[in-house]
Amino acid sequence: MDLGISGKVAVVTGGASGIGAATVQMLAQEGVLVAVWDLKPLAVQSAALVQSVDVVDLASVTAAWEATEQQLGPVEILVHAAAIGSGHFGFPFTRVPVSAWERVFRVNVLGMVNVAHVAAPAMQERRRGSIVFLSSVAGQMGSQTDPPYSASKAANINFAQCMAKDLAPFGIRVNSVCPGMVKTPLNESVWKSWFDQQPPDKRLSYDDWAADKIGRVVPLGRWQTPEDIAAMITFLSSSRGSEVTGQTINVDGGCVMHW
C-alpha cells in the first residue's frame, strides 16, 4: 500500500529508543527522511539526521527545527514521543513527592508546548502537515500507578485537541496515539518503582508482574509492541489518514474498553 509520504521530511522526538525508534524505522521504510531529536542521541538505524535536543529548552527546539529544515528540507511530519515517568509508584498519590510532579510536567507538558510552538507556525505558512503526539491510556483512565505521568498524558490529549481545532483551517492534522502495555524502558521503570514498594514475599519478577497485569486489564491478553504503535503513527502521518484529526486512538489490546 502506497502511503503517499515517500520523500517527505519528519521529526521524531524521543526517537533514540522504544516507540520513537520503531517509528523512525517504519517511517524510513516508507521513504521518509527522518530527523531524530533526543536528549541523549544514539546512532539510530534509518535516521537521516540525529540531533541532541532538550524539549524543555525552547531555544534548543528552535535551533533543532532550523537545522533540520536546512539539512533535510521542510518538515511535514512531526511525531512527539519524548516523555518521562516520575520514577515513583502511586497507590496512593501521596507516595509521590510533589517535586516529582514538576519534573514530569516540565518534560511531558511544557516539552510538548515548546515543540508545538516551533512546528505549528512553519506548517501553517506552508498550509500542510501532520502532528502526532504519543500519549497513553494512563491519561484516559486515571491510572494510579504513576499519577504525575497519568495527569501529564491527559494534558497531552487535551492540548492536542485544542491544536487540532486551531490548525485545521490550515490543512494541518493533529492526533494522539495512546499505547497500552508495551515493553519499553519507561514501562520497566514503573515496574521497578512498584517492586521497591512491595514486601519481599509479594515481589514479582518483571515478566511475572507484567503477565499478571496483562491478564487482568488487556482483553486481547498480550503485550503491544513498539512496532504496533509505530504502525498507527505512520498511518496517521500518511495521506491514507488525510481525514483523521483531533482523534485519540488507542493501540492497547482493548485495555480502555475493559476499563
Full DSSP string of 5-27: -TT-EEEEETTTSHHHHHHHHHH
Whether the pLDDT of residue 230 is over 90: the answer is: yes
Whether the pLDDT of residue 60 is over 60: the answer is: yes
Whether the pLDDT of residue 206 is over 80: the answer is: no
The Cα 130–Cα 7 span in angstroms is: 15
| Cα-based distances in Å from 146 to 86, 100, 101, 152, 188 | 7, 10, 10, 10, 12
Q: What residue has cell string 489518514?
A: 241
The Cα 73–Cα 98 span in angstroms is: 42
Q: pLDDT tens-digit profile of 131-165? A: 999 999 989 987 777 889 999 999 999 999 999 99
The Cα 121–Cα 124 span in angstroms is: 5
Give the model's pLDDT for residue 259: 53
Q: pLDDT tens-digit profile of 62-111? A: 999 999 999 999 999 999 999 998 877 767 888 888 998 999 999 999 99
Is the Cβ–Cβ distance between 207 and 183 less than 8 Å?
A: no
pTM over 0.75: yes
Give the model's pLDDT for residue 191: 66
Q: pLDDT tens-digit profile of 234-252? A: 999 999 999 999 999 999 9
Average pLDDT of the segment spanning 47-51 = 94
Percent of the chain whose predicted confidence (pLDDT) is above 70: 94
149, 191, 194, 209: the catalytic one is 149
Whether the pLDDT of residue 43 is over 70: the answer is: no
Q: pLDDT tens-digit profile of 154-195? A: 999 999 999 999 999 999 999 999 998 887 776 677 667 667
Is the Cβ–Cβ distance between 191 and 142 less than 8 Å?
A: no
Which of the four pLDDT bands, split at 50, 70 and 90, describes residue 2?
A: confident
**149 is known as an active-site residue:** yes
- Write down how long the chain is: 259
The Cα 69–Cα 143 span in angstroms is: 38
Q: Where in the chain are the domains?
A: 9-181+224-253
The Cα 83–Cα 101 span in angstroms is: 13
Give the model's pLDDT for residue 181: 85
Spatial strand order in the sheet of 75-80: 49-52, 33-38, 9-13, 75-80, 129-134, 172-179, 248-251
Q: Hey, which residues does 249 pair with through a beta bridge?
A: 177
In terms of CATH architecture, what is 9-181+224-253? 3-Layer(aba) Sandwich (3.40)
